[in-house]
Amino acid sequence: MLISVEDNFYECKSKTGHVALGGEDFENAIMDFCISSFKVSTGLDISKNSKACVRLKRECATALRSLSVSKSVEVFVESISEGEDLEVDISREVFEEMCDDKFRICVKAIDKVLAQFKKYDKDKKLDHIVLGGFATIIPGITNTLRGYFNN
């Protein structure tokens, strides 16, 4: 969202986003990675096991929050299937590689807002970028935007 603030008056100049992209998409990326890793290490496919997936989903949500402040995280679910434990280490670097396409979607949304800004307010300069929603806690998104703005 692009907001103009003048004399304590706020005016929305532009807003955009990807309504289908949110925190759950990043959790799902972690979940898919864990399911794939578990299958490789045990030969068991838990993707169709709803009980296992619910347990894993909860751990992936926690892992996502942890990756916002830690360089790596371990996703662990005891006895997830046939007595086998799921134990997957994910570094922030690997997570960011998994989610690079999602980060690019965020940048495209910024491109759209900036194009609208330039169209309507050619003579003004942009002072700040403020992220909203889940994007605010994912370092990969903020780092991508820093690179985008060379800042």
Is residue 20 predicted with pLDDT exceeding 70? no
Decide: helix, strand or coil at residue 149. Answer: coil
The whole-model pTM stands at: 0.77
Where exactly are the structural domains of the chain? 2-14+99-148, 23-92
Structure tokens at 92: 């922030």
Residue 4: phi and psi, rounded to 5, are: -100, 130
Q: What is the dihedral sign for C-alpha 57, 130, 16, 107?
A: negative
Is residue 88 predicted with pLDDT exceeding 90? yes
From residue 25, alpha-carbon distances to 78, 79, 123 in Å are: 24, 25, 37
Is residue 115 predicted with pLDDT exceeding 70? yes
- pLDDT band at 102; cut points 50, 70, 90: confident
What CATH number was assigned to the domain covering residues 23-92?
3.90.640.10
Structure tokens at 19: 């309504």
Task: Give the pLDDT of residue 38.
Answer: 98
**Comparing 146 with 17, which gets the higher pLDDT?**
146
Residue 71: phi and psi, rounded to 5, are: -80, -20
Q: Give dist(CA 134, CA 41) in Å, integer.
A: 32
**Comparing 1 with 70, which gets the higher pLDDT?**
70
Decide: helix, strand or coil at residue 71. Answer: coil
Task: Give the pLDDT of residue 78.
Answer: 97
